[in-house]
Chains A and B, each alone.
Chain A
């Protein structure tokens, strides 16, 4: 019962509760103070997480585990949450969003994700997943009186509930076959008793349930509508942190828990990867709403990362984590730029982005760099992370998937370059320059600087990712 290991999450939840309490005391005009407080409050969990780095302990009967994998993802979630909160402050002021609760919910969702990354036991996985998901459902619907936002929240909740049910059924099957919910013991039991039909069925349900979380095809249908309708900072949070948490859990459950079934689930994920990346890229070609386009692009990127899951090796897993780090910075940067533009343009249509380079040069360049990083152009981080992941997949024998991935990357260039083209080459509809608030500027700058540094000097992050991956495949 080592509570010390839980301190990051505990401190994060305390900060959230404090924000809710302060919300009662703070007047309507000063709500942004809560945002800044939430941002600063993230320092505590971050410091505590880094203080726990380097350990390899478990507690609460293996329900909580602190190892390099957990630390990597916790840091990722906290950084993402910080940038999202910073980006939300002006957005939240403009729209009828309940502000104190908004920031607190973001913090609670982060806490849920941090739990998800550091547990080795099925029930805890489910509980932390629900904590994350339910807060995200509320956040998606948080623009009051907006039909799209309500629709996105409802859709997310209904489909999420359905997939959670499937997930729980899969967990029940696994428990029934093995008699335990702790992943290490599950693996031992399966290798002892063999891979039975029940285990395979459970595996399939688990893949389906987690597939919803990572928006893999055919469980992706919620993503475009939810991404489009939710408030853009929440979309950014969903696209980045929730997906990363999904992958953290997928890697743990399948690599650690279902390791002995390694003849089955890699092929399942290989097929999932192939379909996901292709569908995501092809449908993104036709999107006119930039949030929907990024939704389909994030589906495609989930496909690339699923390729890493299918490879089932240490280097592939570290590739997924490097990819997630690059993907997090890139997507947050892109969404921050979109928030900056939509704040002034009141539109998310790509055609309304015409000539924005003339009106907001720095933000346009930032958005362009993020989009080009998603396309895999050097020297941004997207390039090196893609190369590393593809190489790991090739080494694992998935050459066909690598070739498919490369052609998909080439296809994806079109829709990313299309936005760049509209911003840089078309004439703007008005001439006055678009001011951007300082918060958004800082968030964009940090993201873009981060992805350039990661692209040019990935070694430290790669080192951390490799250590984390060795937890899964020693």
Chain B
């Protein structure tokens, strides 16, 4: 039973070392090694998912070992309804990212080693239940991501990469201050999240302390999610990163911010979460509308998808801000579904960029005649993103709106208008790119097939599956959300 999480988290590290040791000339071995290790990680996480019992409260697959007793830091990992979907999402998207970058040049060996190292960091963030361990893994993912963007990215890659690093670091500095404050204030000499959650910070230190620490931590997560006005690193990083890295960035890295908000902010500082719900909700709605509005005016497909991520993460924040059981469940589900849908969208953009070497919407037209399969997938992905019933996006957004309306009616009403704008830019983009007369210079384009199509179809299948039968995931999520919401006292 135990030991699974450590294996899942550190297997990609072994994979990175093995991949790095294979001589660079043997590209096939490098690629198969990377794919193999990520596949095994995915299978193990699915085994954990199957064996996880949502009806039992509390953590499962727990491993707890003292690490630095002088500080009270322990190697404490475990699975509950909050992080299990994230772990599965991470391993799934990493495998698909590896498959999608099968023909990466130059230096595929370093590329795949860095992707596996990145996976270790992300998985570690999700499974850690000790605050310092959480922060440690949060920092681990910085350098691989920097190198991945800065070496294999687009024309402005170095600017985008260093911007990403500096924004994240600033957030980490604030986060660490918050973590140290929580540790010291509780007097419990431990970084265990659950022990710290038992400390009544409000009664011991008053509202001001809670507020300051809440926002120190929240800003760090808000930069990651990202929330307006900290979102400006995202368009640059997403656009300049290579396709598969964008998939991981948008699909999982952003969710680290949301996960941090619910796991740390809401669980340890519920009083401040209640008090500032209005502020968080307002920022969420601004993100939704602003992100959607910016997507509307983009001509670059990838930039459009990037801004749509800002908008969709606004739904997540709205769900968290509303603090009702339904809305928080919806937000958690939105994190998972957005990961799959946006991952799919970035992969699709990557396919057309590989074939046509341009991402400008104005360059395209009538592609559906030459690439019908691809057009169908892209249209379905667009419909999923705007929340068409039958796809997973609808379930998540519906839960968020129904749940948020109960506590933040006006904000929810404005936020729901964001769906209209989303539908606008997605349908308009699909119409301009795929329908209408065929632009003659694309007459030679081939449809997506073979290895290109595999990740696309996989993600599409997940999107439809969760859309038609959300019970697969919602049961797990609600078992994790219930204790948090109970603590909020609502």
Q: Given the complex of chains A and B, what is the CA–CA distance between A267 and B132 in angstroms?
A: 29
**A107 interface residue, CB < 8 Å from B?**
no
Q: 1/0 contact trace for A283-322 toward B, CB 8 Å? A: 0000000000000000000000000000000010010000
B151 touches A394 (CB 8 A): no
B165 touches A417 (CB 8 A): yes
**Whole-angstrom distance between the Cβ of B107 and the nearest chain A Cβ:** 9
Neighbouring B residues of A406 by C-beta, 8 Å: 173-174, 176-177
Question: Which of B63-71, B194-202, B332-340, B448-456 lies at the interface?
Answer: B63-71
**Whole-angstrom distance between the Cβ of A253 and the nearest chain B Cβ:** 26
Q: Given the complex of chains A and B, what is the CA–CA distance between A410 and B174 in angstroms?
A: 10
Given contacts A377-B143, A406-B176, contact A388 B71 (CB under 8 A): yes
Given contacts A383-B136, A402-B177, contact A459 B183 (CB under 8 A): no
**Whole-angstrom distance between the Cβ of B12 and the nearest chain A Cβ:** 14
Q: Given the complex of chains A and B, what is the CA–CA distance between A376 and B170 in angstroms?
A: 13
B184 touches A394 (CB 8 A): yes
| Contact among B136, B140, B146, B184 for A395, CB-based, below 8 A | B184
Neighbouring B residues of A379 by C-beta, 8 Å: 136, 140
Residue tally, chain A, CB below 8 Å to B: 34
| Contact among B68, B147, B176 for A459, CB-based, below 8 A | B68
**A387 interface residue, CB < 8 Å from B?**
yes
Neighbouring A residues of B143 by C-beta, 8 Å: 372, 377, 417, 420
Q: Given the complex of chains A and B, what is the CA–CA distance between A399 and B177 in angstroms?
A: 9
**Whole-angstrom distance between the Cβ of A258 and the nearest chain B Cβ:** 27
The DSSP consensus for interface residues of chain B is: helix
**B219 interface residue, CB < 8 Å from A?**
no
A424 touches B147 (CB 8 A): yes
Q: Given the complex of chains A and B, what is the CA–CA distance between A459 and B176 in angstroms?
A: 21
Of all chain B residues, the one with the shortest Cβ separation from A365 is B20
Q: 1/0 contact trace for B392-422 toward A, CB 8 Å? A: 0000000000000000000000000000000
B180 touches A425 (CB 8 A): no
Neighbouring A residues of B27 by C-beta, 8 Å: none
Q: Given the complex of chains A and B, what is the CA–CA distance between A315 and B71 in angstroms?
A: 10
A466 touches B184 (CB 8 A): no
Q: Given the complex of chains A and B, what is the CA–CA distance between A402 and B177 in angstroms?
A: 8
Q: 1/0 contact trace for A404-420 toward B, CB 8 Å? A: 00110110011001001
Q: Given the complex of chains A and B, what is the CA–CA distance between A407 and B175 in angstroms?
A: 11
- A residues 51-83 in Cβ contact with B at 8 Å: none
Q: Given the complex of chains A and B, what is the CA–CA distance between A372 and B70 in angstroms?
A: 25
Q: Given the complex of chains A and B, what is the CA–CA distance between A420 and B144 in angstroms?
A: 12
**Whole-angstrom distance between the Cβ of A88 and the nearest chain B Cβ:** 31
**A390 interface residue, CB < 8 Å from B?**
yes
Neighbouring B residues of A383 by C-beta, 8 Å: 136, 139
**B14 interface residue, CB < 8 Å from A?**
no
| Contact among A425, A463, A466 for B158, CB-based, below 8 A | A425
**B294 interface residue, CB < 8 Å from A?**
no
**A458 interface residue, CB < 8 Å from B?**
yes
Neighbouring B residues of A458 by C-beta, 8 Å: 68
B165 touches A413 (CB 8 A): yes
Given contacts A378-B140, A383-B136, contact A459 B70 (CB under 8 A): yes
Given contacts A372-B143, A407-B173, A413-B165, contact A391 B71 (CB under 8 A): yes
**Whole-angstrom distance between the Cβ of A154 and the nearest chain B Cβ:** 40
**B462 interface residue, CB < 8 Å from A?**
no
**Whole-angstrom distance between the Cβ of A304 and the nearest chain B Cβ:** 14
- A residues 367-410 in Cβ contact with B at 8 Å: 372, 376-379, 383-384, 387-388, 390-391, 394-395, 399, 402-403, 406-407, 409-410
- B residues 2-32 in Cβ contact with A at 8 Å: none
Q: Given the complex of chains A and B, what is the CA–CA distance between A383 and B68 in angstroms?
A: 13
- A residues 115-165 in Cβ contact with B at 8 Å: none
Neighbouring A residues of B151 by C-beta, 8 Å: 424-425
Q: Given the complex of chains A and B, what is the CA–CA distance between A424 and B181 in angstroms?
A: 37
Q: Given the complex of chains A and B, what is the CA–CA distance between A394 and B165 in angstroms?
A: 26
**B376 interface residue, CB < 8 Å from A?**
no
Neighbouring A residues of B177 by C-beta, 8 Å: 399, 402-403, 406
B169 touches A410 (CB 8 A): yes
B181 touches A394 (CB 8 A): yes
Q: Given the complex of chains A and B, what is the CA–CA distance between A384 and B137 in angstroms?
A: 12
A462 touches B70 (CB 8 A): yes
**Whole-angstrom distance between the Cβ of A318 and the nearest chain B Cβ:** 8
Q: Given the complex of chains A and B, what is the CA–CA distance between A406 and B184 in angstroms?
A: 17
**Whole-angstrom distance between the Cβ of A425 and the nearest chain B Cβ:** 5
**B277 interface residue, CB < 8 Å from A?**
no
Q: Given the complex of chains A and B, what is the CA–CA distance between A285 and B33 in angstroms?
A: 40
Neighbouring A residues of B146 by C-beta, 8 Å: 417
Neighbouring A residues of B165 by C-beta, 8 Å: 413, 417
Q: List 9 A-B contacts (CB under 8 A).
A: A315-B70, A377-B140, A377-B143, A378-B136, A387-B176, A388-B68, A394-B184, A407-B173, A417-B165
4 closest Cβ contacts across the A-B interface? A406-B173, A378-B136, A410-B169, A410-B173
Extra inter-chain contacts (18) besides given A376-B139, A394-B180, CB under 8 Å: A372-B143, A377-B142, A377-B143, A379-B136, A387-B132, A388-B71, A390-B180, A399-B177, A402-B180, A406-B176, A413-B165, A414-B162, A417-B162, A420-B143, A424-B151, A425-B150, A425-B158, A458-B68
- Using a CB–CB cutoff of 8 Å, the interface residues on chain B facing chain A are 67-71, 132, 136-137, 139-140, 142-143, 146-147, 150-151, 158, 162, 165-166, 169-170, 172-174, 176-177, 180-181, 183-184
